[in-house]
Amino acid sequence: MNWTALVIFIIFFLLVTVLGFVAARWRKADLNHLEEWGLAGRKFGTLITWFLVGGDLYTAYTFIAVPALMYGAGALGFYAVPYTIIIYPIFFAILPRFWSVAKKHGYVTASDFIEGRFGDKTLALAIAVTGIVATMPYIALQLTGMQAVLAAMGLGGDWPLIIAFVILALYTYTSGLRAPAMIAVVKDLMIYITVIVAIIVIPMKLHGFGHIFSAASAALATHTPPGAPVATPSMYAPYATLALGSALALFLYPHSLTGILSSSSRRVIKRNMALLPAYSFALGIIALLGFMALAAGIVTKNTSAAVPLLFLKEFPSWFAGFGFAAIAIGALVPAAIMSIAASNLFTRNIYKAYFNKSASPQNEAKVAKFVSLIVKVGALVFILGFPQQYAISMQQVGGILVLQTLPAIIFGLYTRWFHRRALLLGWAVGILYGIYMWGTTGYKSTTYALHIFGQTWAGYAGIWALIVNVLVTVVFTLIFQAVKLGQGTDATSASDYSIEPSA
């Protein structure tokens, strides 16, 4: 037991716990209303949105999962850096349209938009269920990161994680989206301090980056299968498809869209798409921690433990505790947002749509608070049921699923040419094919090799499934249009997608 690190960790963990409960009084409003509890009244400006969305996207995935993949496999882990760069120009154009139509019609979730746009409750239900299920492994990834730092300090077993889980559940229930928004400010400051210190101190102790890359290269060559510090030709397709698929998936996740919908205007969203790449710079540095762990002689079969063990070896115990707190808090913030987003989907698009159509805003908020607790339990079940060699696989699994909502959500923001039933069929085929590809690996990898015309193409299963999804959607759209199958009613108008903040 590392008592010094543990004490520092507990102090900062208690600080953010207090902030989580205090957040209920921040910008005080009626938290018994779903729009206030789940979207903080859509009032966050540029700075708070930057911290909230950044805290939402750069998580235990950043500090634990990406370096773990670098530690175990090498250069393939760098795919996370380009994907978080190319994503922002793409969604700079898309997300303001989504915000505008959601603001105009009071949409709380992507499924609300789908039902309004296509007049199809079944399609909206499919998108909602996909969002909820895809969120489970992502929350599980956060809990895995927390497990890693707790274990590094000597807190074995499940009870420390359960305690942290209960605390998270309570302040999420009490304060809604305001809690992770307030905590995200502290979390990001702590992470930037940790990153700055790590990038200066650890290379100095390891005799510079030249030695780090040389030692990492030698260590990767001994792995089974061998890793590589630089991408080899066989990695090109997996690397590119993982980067593209992850980029397209990121803002389809319910928690990402929840952060966007909490913004106060289109301008806030555009500013954030311009400012968020600052996190990508930090991610590039954090990824190198995997190589630093190799160079430092860290040996572990649990790749998620690489960074915590590196911190314990290279930092004084008190600063290791500070870094562990930053990682744990970096897991709590997105886990809270994810559970809120999933509960918003359940409440609006399952409970209200099918069980209580006349539910009041207060009743919606009550159900959402309860479901946010259930979602966290589901994430724990995922950890137990699908153990992964690399924690990052949990994010990739969620990506396979949520990518299949792209045609309905993204294409739907620009056109109604695609038939609602064709979108549903494409979604179903994409989901089934994606799960099939994942299953052929024994649920251990999201990379799948296609054999076409004598050629082998290994790539991210989410991209292969999305391609099939789009093909099915296009073909059946043409068929359904030919037989004049009803398209449904569009509750939106062209002007709804470009309304200004004052509208």
Cα angle 223-227-230, degrees, rounded to a multiple of 5: 155
**From the DSSP assignment, how many helices (H) and strands (E) are in the chain?**
23, 2
Highest mean predicted confidence (pLDDT) among 32-46, 412-426, 483-497: 412-426
Whether 380 and 404 have beta carbons less than 8 Å apart is answered as: no
DSSP notation for 98-149: HHHHHHHHT--SHHHHHHHHH--HHHHHHHHHHHHHHHHHHHHHHHHHHHHH
| Stretch 341-358: mean pLDDT | 93
Percent of the chain with pLDDT over 70: 96
The β-bridge partners of 114 are none
| Stretch 5-26: mean pLDDT | 86
Q: Tell which residue, 252, 267, 253, 261, has the closest CA to residue 107.
A: 261
> Between β-strands 455-460 and 447-452, what pairing exists: parallel, antiparallel or unpaired?
antiparallel
pLDDT digit string (tens) for 72-116? 999 988 998 898 888 999 999 999 999 999 999 999 999 999 999
- Residue labelled with tokens 């430092």: 296
Torsion of CA 350, 353, 355, 361, to 10 degrees: 90
Which helix (H) or strand (E) segment holds residue 448: the answer is: strand 447-452
Q: Quote the mean pLDDT of the chain.
A: 89
| Per-residue pLDDT at 389 | 53
Band the pLDDT of 333: cuts 50, 70, 90.
confident
Q: Name the DSSP letter for residue 158.
A: S
CB neighbour class for 100 (10 Å; exposed up to 12, middle 13-18, buried from 19): buried
| Per-residue pLDDT at 380 | 67
Tell me which of 385 and 44 has the higher pLDDT: 44
The pTM (predicted TM-score) of the whole model is: 0.90
CA distance 291 to 30: 48
For residue 379, give both structure tokens. 């994430």
Q: Does the CA dihedral 100-104-109-112 come out positive or negative?
A: negative
| Per-residue pLDDT at 174 | 85
Whether 431 and 130 have beta carbons less than 8 Å apart is answered as: yes
| Per-residue pLDDT at 503 | 43
| Per-residue pLDDT at 377 | 76
pLDDT digit string (tens) for 219-260? 999 998 899 899 888 889 999 999 999 999 999 999 999 999
Q: Tell which residue, 409, 417, 416, 421, has the closest CA to residue 466.
A: 409
Tell me which of 225 and 461 has the higher pLDDT: 461
| Stretch 459-484: mean pLDDT | 96
Whether 77 and 463 have beta carbons less than 8 Å apart is answered as: no
Listed by start position, the domains of the chain span: 32-392
| Per-residue pLDDT at 187 | 85
For residue 113, give both structure tokens. 């938009």
Band the pLDDT of 361: cuts 50, 70, 90.
confident
What is the third-level CATH fold of 32-392? Answer: Sodium/glucose cotransporter (1.20.1730)
| Stretch 52-62: mean pLDDT | 78
The answer to whether residue 501 scores a pLDDT higher than 70 is: no
